[in-house]
Structure 1
Amino acid sequence: MLAYLYEERLLDTRFDLRGNRGGAALSAKFLNSGHILGSAGVSLSFRENGSDKSFFFTSDTNVNHQTIIPGATYPDRVDNLMIETTAGADPDAELYTRRSEELRLGEAIEQTLRRGGAVLIPVFALGRAQEVLALIQRYKDRGVIPHDTPLYTAGSMRAVAGLYDRTRESTPRLNPEFEVEQVAQLRVPRSRSRMQESVDEPSIHVVASGMLFERTLSNLLATMIVGDERNSVFFVGYAREDSPGGILLEAERGDRAILSSEIGEQTINCNVDRFRLSGHSHRMELVELVGRLNPTNVVLVHGETEAQSWMREAIESRYRDVTVIVPECGKEIIL
């Protein structure tokens, strides 16, 4: 017999954590973190030395609205804050707004289609995929791109879309009436010959993986289109430098690069660009969030060393009364 090992809790509704043998008061509530479907920050309230205290973990967080998911909800103030630092080493993200990037992506897709090219948008199957599909539907509805442009998808992202739709009334949404599965989509053909035919016409392919890892559909499609200057590969999320996606982003037009060890070097002739449509807040938004929540202690997590170092310096220079902690793996922290 299968049974859940957890209890369901409503967002923004406090619940007791003491358990049957608990003594000191301890309660929690989940808050929408604005990242992807189901992502939540955790707010803890407790008594310590006769005083009320609070702790908040942001989780992966986004202060801004996306296409489907609204921006995060935060407490008014906390004593202790644990905050993600994913974008701490990305200064370029501060230069863009989501609105400007959405407009720029729409224009770039339209230009590619107008010159007879195919657009490949590599995505993470959960979160980015559904947001991008909603955005493409918006482009069609507003006449940015032709309404009859073929849109190809495949894999688990289609199943995840169903999950998004089934929970649209019970989870945070900008428009609960919108359904991802109502976006007209074609399945990416299975055979290579038909797959090649699909990219030989003006079309959009939204597939995983987001970093073009080898032996994924996005990698295979990329190898099919990078040699044609009419085509485009548009990244909408993070791509690690040593991944095929990172390699393609660093390549100049005309460069030779290896995206697939099976195929070997290819000449990169297509248009390649990155659009800042991340599910994470950029680093200055995180620093400003620290000021907004006004904690005594800040614990930096979920980021590379460079990202955490920048965040630490920025917080300490702006908020001199805040103690910033960069935890070591396996070491206990006392706040």
Structure 2
Amino acid sequence: MHIEFHGAAGGVTGSCHLIEAAGKRLLIDCGMYQGGRELEAQNAEPFGFDPAGIDYVLLTHAHLDHCGRLPLLTKRGFRGEIITTGASRDLAKIVMMDAAHLAEEESRRLTHKARLRGEKERIEPVYDVLDVFDTLDRFGRRIDYNKPTRIAPGIRATFVDAGHILGSACILLQLREGERRVRVLFSGDLGNKGRPILRDPARPPKADVVVMETTYGNRCHKPLPPSVEELYQAILDTLDRGGNVVIPTFALERAQEILYFLREGVERKILPRYLPVFLDSPMAISATEIFRRHPECFDPETCAIFQEGRDPFGLPNLHFVREAAESMRLNQIQSGAVVMAGSGMCTGGRVRHHLRHNLWRPECSVVFVGYAARGTPARAIIDGAKTVHLLGKEIPVRARIYTIGGFSAHADRDELLEWHRRTGNPACTFLVHGETEALSAMCQRLQPARVEIPELHQRYDLTRYQWTR
């Protein structure tokens, strides 16, 4: 029995962990690297294992940095089964399709630039839409929460609600080879308690080995209620100055959560009833429809809203913007609008165009409500850059910048520690999915327990952590 770390090891994105047990090879997630160009170039590099030798992929959730390289895995030979929850399966489809379209657009752009230089070779995308269709054929069993499932002889998996995004799960693997038995728990991405829409993360099962994310392992979030009030005030102040509010938005969970709070703000008469709100993200629009189809993931309050016949994501003056031409017309609006657009880190998508037209205007505001990795335009703006490179131009940063950390969908330091305490004193904890400072801080907090911070492609023998209690 072995575990190998082929992504999110010493970094935040690209989650991909390999388990060898009972004659089978399983991946937990297969995500994209996100950040600067140097980091994203790793997406095209070898995985560190033979894709054709993988029997199963167990997917914790549908964020791009957890599912985004599945089409590349298939393209390079994977013919096994992908197993996840029903909601994650539905969301992964739109996430991978969106990534394929963006990769194809980037391929055409780079090929055009190469040909202007006299080069004739086409720049190939990492994968395309056909690879996504091939990957969708690999999706098999849909797993319900808290129901142990026999994956193969000697391997059982239990998905537990992680409370992060719709369908997200922690995954407990019960591995058996002869007399050897090891319980390995993967946190996936853990949610933040007390959020609207979704349930809180479930109590984790006991485990011998824990693989835990540490995105916010060195800090705590602002409380949610003051964060919501700060969002409202940012919008009202911007309206008073005669500008627009641009909210770089992650399409899954964050877009729906912000719509939820904007609806509440209108219902509480804090925000103008006919405040124009534009959701300029085809993927976020599709994700919102998928949310409506999966009430099994909702908390009681959101279920009650549906039962009353109300839409938790509905606003009187909400506009879904699907077509590119519609998105371009938004740039003619000089004041009074809230524009939510992807991507949340400003590395791609339509938000770059809206920033280009609003970031240089002092009367406007940009409100960041999610994590921004190093090397991304969002992180540069948050860290105080005077200009930012967008769409081939240097854009001055003159708009008012808000960073509202209370909206994070990730557990913070104290929530991670509480979750870990409930796993039952594991023999070893592997820390992944974090920047250096967060990994080091969490490692110190967990001592004297045994903690490992694996490097990329590092391999460990799981039998060293066999349950002896």
**TM-score (normalizing by structure 1):** 0.84
> 258, 266, 281: which is aligned to 1:140?
266
Counterpart of 1:325 in structure 2 is: 452
Contact 2:352–2:391 (Cα < 8 Å) also in 1: no
What SS does the aligned partner of 1:333 have? strand
> 140, 146, 150: which is aligned to 1:6?
140
The 1:116–1:80 alpha-carbon spacing in structure 2 relative to 1, beyond 3 Å, is same
Counterpart of 1:197 in structure 2 is: 332
Counterpart of 1:218 in structure 2 is: 351
> 192, 196, 213: which is aligned to 1:67?
196
Q: How many residues align?
A: 316
Deviations 1:120-172 (A, max 9, x none): 1001122211111112111111112111000011222111111111122x324
| Structure 1 residue 4: Cα displacement | 5.1
> 419, 444, 456: which is aligned to 1:289?
419
Which residue identity lines up with residue 105 of structure 1 in the other structure? L
Counterpart of 1:105 in structure 2 is: 231
| Structure 1 residue 191: Cα displacement | 6.1
| Structure 1 residue 76: Cα displacement | 5.0
1:158-169 correspondence to structure 2 within 5 Å: 158-168=285-295
Instruction: Give distance in 1, aligned partners of 2:294 and 2:439.
Output: 35
> 339, 342, 361: which is aligned to 1:228?
361
| Structure 1 residue 74: Cα displacement | 2.2
The 1:192–1:303 alpha-carbon spacing in structure 2 relative to 1, beyond 3 Å, is closer
Instruction: Give distance in 2, aligned partners of 1:110 and 1:9.
Output: 44
| Structure 1 residue 110: Cα displacement | 2.1
Which residue identity lines up with residue 194 of structure 1 in the other structure? R
CA RMSD of aligned residues (A): 2.7
| Structure 1 residue 302: Cα displacement | 1.7
> 220, 224, 238: which is aligned to 2:371?
238
Instruction: Give distance in 2, aligned partners of 1:47 and 1:261.
Output: 53
| Structure 1 residue 305: Cα displacement | 3.1
> 25, 31, 34: which is aligned to 2:160?
31
Which residue identity lines up with residue 261 of structure 2 in the other structure? L
| Structure 1 residue 48: Cα displacement | 7.9
Instruction: Give distance in 2, aligned partners of 1:51 and 1:100.
Output: 50
The 1:167–1:192 alpha-carbon spacing in structure 2 relative to 1, beyond 3 Å, is closer
Contact 2:259–2:314 (Cα < 8 Å) also in 1: no
Identity of aligned residues (%): 25
| Structure 1 residue 37: Cα displacement | 1.2
Contact 2:260–2:312 (Cα < 8 Å) also in 1: yes
Contact 1:327–1:333 (Cα < 8 Å) also in 2: no
| Structure 1 residue 49: Cα displacement | 8.3
1:112-127 correspondence to structure 2 within 5 Å: 112-127=238-253
The 1:147–1:192 alpha-carbon spacing in structure 2 relative to 1, beyond 3 Å, is closer
Contiguous gaps of at least 5 residues in structure 2: 1-133
Instruction: Give distance in 2, aligned partners of 1:160 and 1:193.
Output: 22
The 1:12–1:43 alpha-carbon spacing in structure 2 relative to 1, beyond 3 Å, is same
What SS does the aligned partner of 2:339 have? strand
| Structure 1 residue 181: Cα displacement | 5.8
What SS does the aligned partner of 1:144 have? coil
Which residue identity lines up with residue 249 of structure 1 in the other structure? I
The 1:241–1:82 alpha-carbon spacing in structure 2 relative to 1, beyond 3 Å, is closer
What SS does the aligned partner of 1:108 have? helix
The 1:47–1:243 alpha-carbon spacing in structure 2 relative to 1, beyond 3 Å, is closer
